[in-house]
Each structure stands twice: as structure tokens, then as C-alpha cells.
Amino acid sequence: MEERDYAELLDRALKDVPELTTEKSDFVIPTTETFSQGNKTVLKNIGMIADRARRSPADIAKYLTKELGVPISNDGQQLVINGRFANDEIDRRIKRYFEVYVICKECKKPDTHIESAGRGVAYLICEACGARYGIKS
């Protein structure tokens, strides 16, 4: 094969290769919808947040209980938090939950699950890239 033929084949092959672009994820951390009821704060859209996180509402409630230092009860499709908290404070805690327990640190995708390793240790495993991170359960 001559060098000219090789160059033509290479040019033709490069035309057929799709252009690489940086993939943007359409995943957005959901915002919370809260309202105050006396001295309690009600998180209305916990079901939607749990669906986006692919976690149970009980897992998110457990995290919020530790973060806020108050008891939380699950009342159907909403969480009742003992104490008055601003919506932006709950938003910050939910965002932090997603950063630590949902979104992969390597590929930044939310396609993860948690496997328990016992003794308070768990692994966040990314289904997209295969990364594993140790997390506190």
C-alpha cells in the first residue's frame, strides 16, 4: 500500500468518526418543597426526591435526622421534621446527601447503589463507571 493510499483511507476514516463532545448530564438535584406547621417543618416532596436519588425515603430521613439533630417521622408521602427549618437549609442538606450518597465522584453520574460491608461501613458503587467509594452508613 502506498503512502498516498494510506493517507486517503485515514482521511476517509476520520470523516466517519463521530465528533467527541463533552457529555452533559440532564440530572438536576431536586429542590425541596417545605412548609411550617406550628413548630414542625413538613417536607412535601420526599417521594420525588427519593425517586431521583434511587434511595428509600427512610434512608434520606435517617440522614436528615443525623444532620439536623431532630427526630423525623414519615407521614405517607411527606416527612415531618420536629423543629422549624428554612427551605434553603433543607435544600443544602439534600444537596449534600446527593453529593455524598448518590452522585459518583469519578464520572459525576447518579447511577449508583449502596452495598453494606458491615460494621458501619458501606460502599457507594457506580453502575456507569464501576468506581467504588467507602462511605459511612
CATH of the domain at 51: 3.30.30.170
Q: Are residues 97 and 116 in the same domain?
A: no
The domain in which residue 136 lies consists of 107-137
- Digit-coded pLDDT (tens) for 59-79: 999 999 999 999 999 887 899
User: β-strands 78-82, 40-43: how paired?
Assistant: antiparallel
Q: Are residues 71 and 125 in the same domain?
A: no
Q: Are residues 127 and 78 in the same domain?
A: no
The reported pTM is 0.78
Residue 48 lies in a domain: yes
Q: Are residues 54 and 115 in the same domain?
A: no
| CA distance readout (Å), 22 to 17, 25, 91, 106, 117 | 15, 10, 28, 15, 35
Q: Are residues 58 and 71 in the same domain?
A: yes
Instruction: Lay out the sheet containing 72-75: strands in order across.
Output: 34-37, 40-43, 78-82, 72-75
Q: Are residues 81 and 45 in the same domain?
A: yes
> Can you list the alpha helix ranges (DSSP code H) found in 29-86?
46-53, 57-68
pLDDT band at 91 (very low <50, low <70, confident <90, very high): very high
